[in-house]
Structure 1
Amino acid sequence: MNRVVPILTVVLAIFAIWYVASFTMNRAWVMDQAARAGETPSLSEQIAGTMNQSRPVVPAPHQVAVELYDGIFDKAVTSKRSLVYHGFITLQATLWGFALGIIGGVALAILIVLSRTADLTLMPWAIISQTIPVVALAPMIVILTNALGAESLMVPKAIIAGYLSFFPVLVSMVKGLTSPDAMQLDLLRTYGATKNQVFWKLRLPASMPFFFASLKIAVAASLVGAIVGELPTGAISGLGARMLIGSQFGNPMIMWSALFAAAILAAMLIWVVGGIERVASRAMGGQSA
């Protein structure tokens, strides 16, 4: 109960602000229509008019909920109007990018920790790479992959997703692999442990909490990358493409429902990563939270 009350308070506050924003942003259209008809609407009429517009500036929460329910449950999963269908397309690119991010982040972290030269050369470039806006980088990746003969739209989306997800893994793994203190390292050396044994017996197990913490960030970043990657690729499927279609046709309901579908997908992915973390923790003799 102590956890539920703060969460409900925040949720209710968000909905209250959202409804106020819907009324404020959509009121101009209601007043304009009333002025053309020579009428002066009451406050209740203004509220009703702002909460049920077909193309509102800011749709009300209940309108988004109806559109979201329709896109998830009322459409066949094979339909091009189904959010489940579009979500699965985006999920594929997200998982491929997530895998690329893990492989790249872990490999670079190991090189940086084991090699002073790699630390001095690779880490600065990894940091600099994150200063490049992904919206500027995405079209270049699309052009390069097309030039290399990668005709599938999945390839550039996966690369963009991997680009966003590798950095949190890299930073966390470097921190985790270097987390053992001098006393622990000296103890293993006293027992005659080799450099490889120190890595596998001490550094790698010590990095696991950092690794799984980074995965929760990386999987969300990968989803963002997959969605952003759908915008310049000319994709007609995926949650990002769905948002773009809603923008092009001036239908905010499509954009908002796709946005919330992406948020739900992100929450599910983070929950799955958390479950894998608990299983891995028990397998390594740890205590799950």
Structure 2
Amino acid sequence: MTRTLPILTVLLAIVVLWYLAAIAMNAPWQTDVYKRGGIENVPATQFVLDTWNQEKPVLPAAHQVLTELWNTTVMVAPNKPRSLIFHAWVTFSATGLGFLMGSLLGIGLAVLIVHNDATNRSLMPWIVASQTIPILALAPLIVVIGFNIFTGTLHIPTDPARLMSKAIISAYLSFFPVAVGMVKGLRSPEAIQLDLMRTYNASASQVFWKLRWPGAMPYLFTSLKIGVAASLVGAIVGELPTGAVAGLGARLLAGSYYSQTIQIWSALFAASILAALLVIAVSLVERLVGARMGVRPS
């Protein structure tokens, strides 16, 4: 109870502020509707209720977003294009593939950087510099170039090619936290521990697998939690310039075209829920790995 009370208090405060902001942002349009309809002396209670139930509000109320989420998840088959589960699966496919690619790349780069000083001096600045390029500017280039390579040169069908293009963007965003975190983790053993391994005449591979790799596990899973969320952002951004008709990014784009703000907010909530589920999944794997390694639960 002592843990949940602060969370519930903050959540309640956010909901109250949300509804107050909905009144303020939707009031001008509602006032204009009354003027055009010749309606005067509207009670304050009715005015507030009308601002919370507009068809295309500037800021949808919380119950409108929740209703849209319910109608597009529970009340429709998950294989239908109207279902948010259908769109979430499309985005998850690119997210999962990109996250796997980015994680493997980040771990591989970290191992090279830690074990080779020349690689450290040459690669690390470029890894940091790669994240200074805005992903919104880079995504269309990656999508167009990658799609042409996959379909034209490699003769990959359209849908897998589009999936790979989005996955590359996801990998681009997710490899950085994994690489930086693993470099920190692989360097976490203290000098006295490394000296002890040398005293035992341990080989480089033994030092890596018995000392550096176990010591890097906390850093790895912390980085993976950041990386999987970044990978989801990359997949959504990758869907915007492709003209995709499926995926949470396509859902956001369609909502913006037709001023369907409730649809936009429901897609944002679906993306947030998907991100939370992915982070929880990584946390569960972390617990399983920790239990296998003999880590005491906190």
| Corresponding residue of 1:77 | 78
TM-aligned CA deviation for residue 288 of structure 1:
2.7
TM-aligned CA deviation for residue 267 of structure 1:
0.7
TM-aligned CA deviation for residue 38 of structure 1:
4.9
| Corresponding residue of 1:225 | 234
| Corresponding residue of 1:12 | 12
TM-aligned CA deviation for residue 147 of structure 1:
2.7
| Corresponding residue of 1:51 | 52
| Corresponding residue of 1:242 | 251
SS class of match (1:148): helix
The answer on 1:269 being equivalent to 2:278 is yes
Residue identity opposite 1:136 in structure 2: A
| Corresponding residue of 1:133 | 134
Matches within 5 A, 1:66-215: 66-150=67-151, 151=158, 152-215=161-224
The number of residues matched between the two structures is: 289
TM-aligned CA deviation for residue 149 of structure 1:
3.0
Describe the superposition over 1:248-284 as per-residue Cα deviations: whole angstroms up to 9, x where unpaired.
Answer: 0111111111110011111111111110000000111
Distance in 2 between residues matched to 1:232 and 1:264, nearest whole Å: 23
Residue identity opposite 1:125 in structure 2: W
TM-aligned CA deviation for residue 53 of structure 1:
0.4
TM-aligned CA deviation for residue 199 of structure 1:
1.0
Q: Compute the TM-score of the two structures, normalised by the length of structure 1.
A: 0.98
Distance in 1 between residues matched to 2:191 and 2:121, nearest whole Å: 22
**More displaced 10-residue stretch of structure 1: 38-47 or 76-85:** 38-47
Aligned-residue sequence identity (percent) comes to 51
TM-aligned CA deviation for residue 142 of structure 1:
1.1
Q: Compute the TM-score of the two structures, normalised by the length of structure 2.
A: 0.95
Unaligned residue ranges in structure 1 (runs of 5+): none
Residue identity opposite 2:10 in structure 1: V
CA contact (8 A) 1:90 1:239 kept: yes
CA contact (8 A) 1:176 1:203 kept: yes
Describe the superposition over 1:167-190 as per-residue Cα deviations: whole angstroms up to 9, x where unpaired.
Answer: 110011000000001100000101
Distance in 2 between residues matched to 1:41 and 1:170, nearest whole Å: 60
Describe the superposition over 1:180-211 as per-residue Cα deviations: whole angstroms up to 9, x where unpaired.
Answer: 01100000101111222111110011000100
Describe the superposition over 1:115-150 as per-residue Cα deviations: whole angstroms up to 9, x where unpaired.
Answer: 000100000000000000100000010121123134
CA contact (8 A) 1:178 1:203 kept: yes
| Corresponding residue of 2:155 | none
Distance in 1 between residues matched to 2:45 and 2:263, nearest whole Å: 27
CA contact (8 A) 1:177 1:203 kept: yes
Residue identity opposite 1:7 in structure 2: I
| Corresponding residue of 2:154 | none
SS class of match (2:150): coil
RMSD, aligned CA: 0.9
Residue identity opposite 2:238 in structure 1: G
Moved over 3 A (4+): none
CA contact (8 A) 1:113 1:119 kept: yes
Distance in 2 between residues matched to 1:146 and 1:248, nearest whole Å: 24
CA contact (8 A) 2:147 2:162 kept: no
Distance in 1 between residues matched to 2:266 and 2:233, nearest whole Å: 16
Residue identity opposite 1:34 in structure 2: Y
Residue identity opposite 2:34 in structure 1: A
SS class of match (1:197): helix
Distance in 1 between residues matched to 2:250 and 2:297, nearest whole Å: 39
TM-aligned CA deviation for residue 45 of structure 1:
1.9
